[in-house]
């Protein structure tokens, strides 16, 4: 969830222009704030990193103006005449309404019958696709630096002590995109300038810059990224930076205190701290056709705080905050997620050593669950196929439905992930595929993820 609301006065474009003046905690200067009038405008201005994985949203019309006394009398008459029909309208006549809408929205002026509600497809940004467009300058690899995990717990710290210890190691990440720029958060993992953040923060970047807590800015090089784990490593030329202490997420239990520190809404709310508990330690979340096993927390995160620190009661970073659940239909509170530090350890060490993570076999397809309708069977629907993948070479295309794998009936992405578990890149998996009414069986070779991302 990087913040991409602003144009940065042209910063990040090929012109190389930088903002003339900026201070943490103050608004970022910009020529003009883009209108936010729907999916098309969002796409033109840069994607908003909000991990709302639904395919549909509901767009409400503006409330209609009403004549004072006449409107009140109309409201009373309508209320009295329809009081007994409220349940019927709520569940029967107006099924198109949102779950919390219905007749009560009409009576309160929030809507004027379902014909005024416009349903539209919301085009979600796919940051994993944008990773392929990343051209930010790269840093040398193979330096021998690794991410250390401190297994000692010691005494629990107060919230104030945790903030004083961790916040100096939280930095801002400025991302120069093809059009405009974006903001995110990073965590200092070495005194000589290695910075850990999310892959979706740097997706599509042309240039990178890190803003340190003392307001100094440094050009950053991209060491490497891994889309499947949503992790990236940057490098700046520096010495003596304050380093965050990383702990083991394996030691966490549900109910443990948790604190999130990041740049909420970008640099306007620099190093904001929120608190909560660990809600789940191994929550599987489907994101863009892949599964991520994440920490779940009630500590609030928002746009701009992606790449920030999830900290335990001992002041150790145990997660890298990367997403939250949102909905236009339902009230959702306290559902935020972070990449576990033990996952980060494995990925980051490989990124610094070789610039990519090679420990994950992939089919090279993006899918979502298909419940089945008409002649289309239940399974997982293929929404896109990587041209570099063996799946593409074997004829799997968008619109196909995978119904089986290695002799097992497949109904969901989780089913396919279980079949893939334990397989290595270079090994094959036999898929049963439904395509335009025909069924066929194909053997597809798994490839290393970085081959598809680069």
User: Could you confirm whether 230 is annotated as catalytic?
Assistant: yes
Active-site position among 7, 230, 390, 415: 230
Active-site position among 4, 167, 190, 200: 200
User: Could you confirm whether 373 is annotated as catalytic?
Assistant: no
Active-site position among 306, 312, 400, 415: 306
- Quote the tokens at residue 445: 């070779």
- Quote the tokens at residue 391: 């799946």
- Quote the tokens at residue 229: 């784990």
CB 260 within 8 A of CB 311: yes
Strand 317-324 versus strand 336-340 pairing type: antiparallel
Name the E strands within 344-427. Answer: 361-362, 365-370, 379-385, 401-405, 408-409
Separation between Cα atoms, residue 354 and residue 349, nearest integer Å: 9
Which ranges constitute the DSSP H helices of 205-283?
none
- The Cβ-side half-sphere exposure at 429, using a 13 Å CA radius, reads 26
Separation between Cα atoms, residue 391 and residue 385, nearest integer Å: 7
- Please, which residues have CB within 8 angstroms of residue 124's CB and are 6 or more apart in sequence? 52, 53, 55
With H, G, I as helix, E, B as strand and everything else as coil, classify residue 373: strand
User: Could you confirm whether 200 is annotated as catalytic?
Assistant: yes
Show which residues are catalytic.
Answer: 200, 230, 306
């Amino acid at each position: 969830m990087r913040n991409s609301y602003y144009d940065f006065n042209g910063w990040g474009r090929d012109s190389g222009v930088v903002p003339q003046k900026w201070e943490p905690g103050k608004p970022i200067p910009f020529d003009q704030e883009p209108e936010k009038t729907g999916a098309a405008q969002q796409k033109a201005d840069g994607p908003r990193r909000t991990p709302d994985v639904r395919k549909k949203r509901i767009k409400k019309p503006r409330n209609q103006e009403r004549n004072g006394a006449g409107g009140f009398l109309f409201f009373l008459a309508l209320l009295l005449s329809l009081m007994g029909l409220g349940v019927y309208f709520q569940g029967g006549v107006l099924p198109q309404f949102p779950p919390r809408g219905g007749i009560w929205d009409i009576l309160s002026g929030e809507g004027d019958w379902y014909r005024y509600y416009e349903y539209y497809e919301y085009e979600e940004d796919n940051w994993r696709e944008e990773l392929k467009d990343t051209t930010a300058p790269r840093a040398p690899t193979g330096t021998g630096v690794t991410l250390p995990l401190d297994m000692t717990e010691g005494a629990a710290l107060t919230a104030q002590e945790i903030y004083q210890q961790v916040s100096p190691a939280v930095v801002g990440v400025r991302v120069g995109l093809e059009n405009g720029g974006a903001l995110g958060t990073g965590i200092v993992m070495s005194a000589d300038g290695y910075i850990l953040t999310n892959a979706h923060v740097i997706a599509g970047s042309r240039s990178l810059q890190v803003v340190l807590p003392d307001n100094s800015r440094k050009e950053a090089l991209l060491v490497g990224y891994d889309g499947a784990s949503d992790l990236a490593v940057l490098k700046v030329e520096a010495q003596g930076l304050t380093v965050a202490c990383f702990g083991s997420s394996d030691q966490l239990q549900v109910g443990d205190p948790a604190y999130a520190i990041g740049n909420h809404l970008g640099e306007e709310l620099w190093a904001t701290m929120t608190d909560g508990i660990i809600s789940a330690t191994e929550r599987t979340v489907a994101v863009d056709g892949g599964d991520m096993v994440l920490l779940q927390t009630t500590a609030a995160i928002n746009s701009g705080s992606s790449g920030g620190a999830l900290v335990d009661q001992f002041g150790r970073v145990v997660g890298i905050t990367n997403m939250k659940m949102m909905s236009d239909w339902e009230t959702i509170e306290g559902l935020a997620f972070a990449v576990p530090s033990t996952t980060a350890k494995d990925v980051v060490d490989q990124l610094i050593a070789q610039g990519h993570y090679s420990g994950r076999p992939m089919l090279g397809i993006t899918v979502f669950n298909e419940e089945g309708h008409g002649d289309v069977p239940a399974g997982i629907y293929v929404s896109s196929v990587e041209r570099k993948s063996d799946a593409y070479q074997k004829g799997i295309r968008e619109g196909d439905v995978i119904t089986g794998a290695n002799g097992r009936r497949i109904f969901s992405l989780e089913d396919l992930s279980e079949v893939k578990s334990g397989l290595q890149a270079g090994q094959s998996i036999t898929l049963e595929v439904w395509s335009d009414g025909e069924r066929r069986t194909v053997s597809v070779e798994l490839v290393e993820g970085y081959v598809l991302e680069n």
